[in-house]
DNA sequence: TCATATAATGATACACTATCTCATATGAGT
DNA sequence: ACTCATATGAGATAGTGTATCATTATATGA
């Protein structure tokens, strides 16, 4: 990142503030691991798994164990810095929130790839139905399933 | 089920026909296990995991192994008799299709329970966006996340 | 009916992710 | 420096789902 990219930097600082606030509120320390993982996560664009994050750190000789990665991802989730999406496989998938526009996913049932598309705020019809049941909505995702372009071409 | 409940019976027969057609088409046999699992699945209302289905069979002294359960669930998926939903935990969740209206789920992030709500066909705004990318849509789900009524009461 | 081929099944081992345990290291506060 | 709570890592553990493979069941045709 350019040192002149003040806009992007301030967004990260904003997220860092959110994280630090959460840590202070819950009596957790600003440990070496938490700073390290926070910085790495902020550099990832798109989705990642705990395994990918761990290997990314190891390549940089930033030593951090798998349990610690999961523990700190849990902290980041609780702080609202990252979100988790169920991809339907056996991994937990995360992505940070700060520069990602709200979006949804369409999964290919053949190659297990996916495409993303922006949230259109058109699904609010559901909100009143759900809230009438006493459920407090904090977020939502649309999952589409189907066949990606490549798999269609392969099949044809 | 009452023997006079012809409507419900015919729906199951319809699903059975779908399954048998799939088996014939793909050269699979109508084995003891397939009949057994099909019947059990049809009696379940709502979601189930392979583990729950296996235990349900064992309680009835219907002996069937875990690998076979998974194999036959795969057949039922391929036949379109059941569908799979990613709940964000480490289990695969299934439900049959025959008497379930198309619906979506709202998951409680605190107790991991969920509520269901009907599909409103209001999310078609996404279809053109996705199909412009060459993706062929076969199905979709809305996942809402939040706090269920009970957990709100507990917190208050 | 019997022989043969093919598919289905179950026991077992296996791969893999995520979590738990607990001993040690770290660090904030006195 | 001392105290003590928290953070961390090594290793064990739990829990799903899958692969292997020998055995059993079923279909087909002589
Ligand atoms: Zn594909
Ligand atoms: Zn995404
Ligand atoms: Zn709840
Ligand atoms: Zn459902």
Residues pairing with B140 in the sheet: A144
CA distance A17 to B32: 61
Name the residue among B47, B140, B144, B39 with its Cα closest to residue B100.
B47
**Region(s) of chain A under CATH 1.10.10.10:** 1-98
Contacts 24+ apart (CB under 8 A), B116-122: B117/A126, B117/A129, B117/A130, B117/A133, B118/A129, B120/A125, B120/A126, B120/A129, B122/A122, B122/A123, B122/A125, B122/A126
Give pLDDT tens digits for B50-66: 999 999 999 999 989 99
Contact between A99 and A8 under an 8 Å Cβ cutoff? The reply is yes
The H or E element containing residue B93 is strand B93-96
CATH H-level superfamily of B101-156: Ferric-uptake regulator, C-terminal dimerisarion domain (3.30.1490.190)
Q: Are strands B103-108 and A82-85 parallel, antiparallel or unpaired?
A: unpaired
Interface test with B, best of A50, A105, A106, A139 (most B CBs within 10 A): A106
Walking along chain A (156 residues) 10 residues at a time, the average pLDDT comes out as: 52 94 94 96 94 94 95 95 90 89 82 81 76 86 85 78
Query: Which residues of chain A make contact with B126, given a CB cutoff of 8 A?
Result: 104, 117, 120, 122, 142, 144
**What does the pLDDT read at residue B48?**
96
pLDDT of residue B137: 85
pLDDT of B40: 96
Of B122, B135, B148, the CB nearest to A122: B122
pLDDT given at position A22: 95
pLDDT, residue B19, reads 96
Indicate the pLDDT class of residue B145, thresholds 50, 70 and 90: confident
Calpha distance B40→B126 (Å, rounded): 36
Say what the pLDDT of residue A114 is: 84
- Of B102, B149, B106, nearest to A127 by C-alpha is B106
pLDDT reported for residue B9: 67
pLDDT in tens, B76-110: 999 999 999 888 889 999 999 987 788 888 887 77
Q: How far is CA A86 from CA A27, A106, B92, B123, B140, in A?
A: 29, 12, 11, 20, 14
Asked if residue A31 keeps its beta carbon closer than 7 A to nucleic acid strand D, the reply is: yes
Q: In chain B, what residues touch A137 (CB-CB under 8 Å)?
A: 106, 144-146
Give the full edge-to-edge strand order of the sheet including A93-96. Answer: A48-49, A93-96, A82-85
> Could you tell me the pLDDT band of residue B5, with boundaries at 50, 70 and 90?
very low
- Nearest-nucleotide field for A51 (CA, C1'): C17
Distance CA A34, CA B6 (A): 62
Among B145, B155, B156, the residue to mutate for chain A (most A Cβ within 10 A): B145
What is the rounded CA–CA span in Å between residue A73 and residue B52? 30
Measured between its terminal Cα atoms, the distance across chain A in Å is: 43
Rounded distance from Cα B78 to ligand 1 centre (Å): 17
Residue with tokens 């600082």: A13
* Domain span(s) for CATH 3.30.1490.190 in chain A: 101-156
Residues A1-98, CATH architecture: Orthogonal Bundle (1.10)
Confidence (pTM) = 0.84
Question: What are A152's two structure tokens?
Answer: 């269609």
CB A109 within 8 A of CB B138: yes
- Which ligand is in closest contact with the Cα of B115? 4
Q: What separation in Å is there between the alpha carbon of A118 and the centre of ligand 1? A: 20
């Amino acid at each position: 990142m350019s040192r002149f990219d003040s806009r992007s930097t301030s967004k990260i600082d904003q997220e860092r503030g959110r994280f630090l606030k959460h840590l202070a509120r819950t009596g957790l320390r600003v440990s070496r691991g938490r700073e390290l993982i926070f910085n790495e996560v902020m550099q990832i664009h798109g989705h990642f798994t705990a395994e990918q994050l761990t290997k990314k750190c190891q390549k940089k000789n930033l030593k951090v164990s798998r349990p610690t990665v999961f523990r700190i991802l849990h902290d980041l989730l609780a702080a609202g810095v990252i979100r988790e999406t169920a991809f339907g496989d056996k991994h937990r998938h995360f992505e940070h929130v700060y520069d990602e526009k709200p979006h949804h996913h369409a999964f290919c049932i053949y190659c297990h790839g996916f495409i993303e598309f922006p949230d259109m705020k058109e699904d609010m019809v559901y909100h009143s139905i759900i809230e009438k049941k006493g459920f407090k909505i904090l977020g939502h995702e649309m999952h589409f399933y189907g066949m990606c372009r490549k798999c269609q071409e392969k099949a044809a």
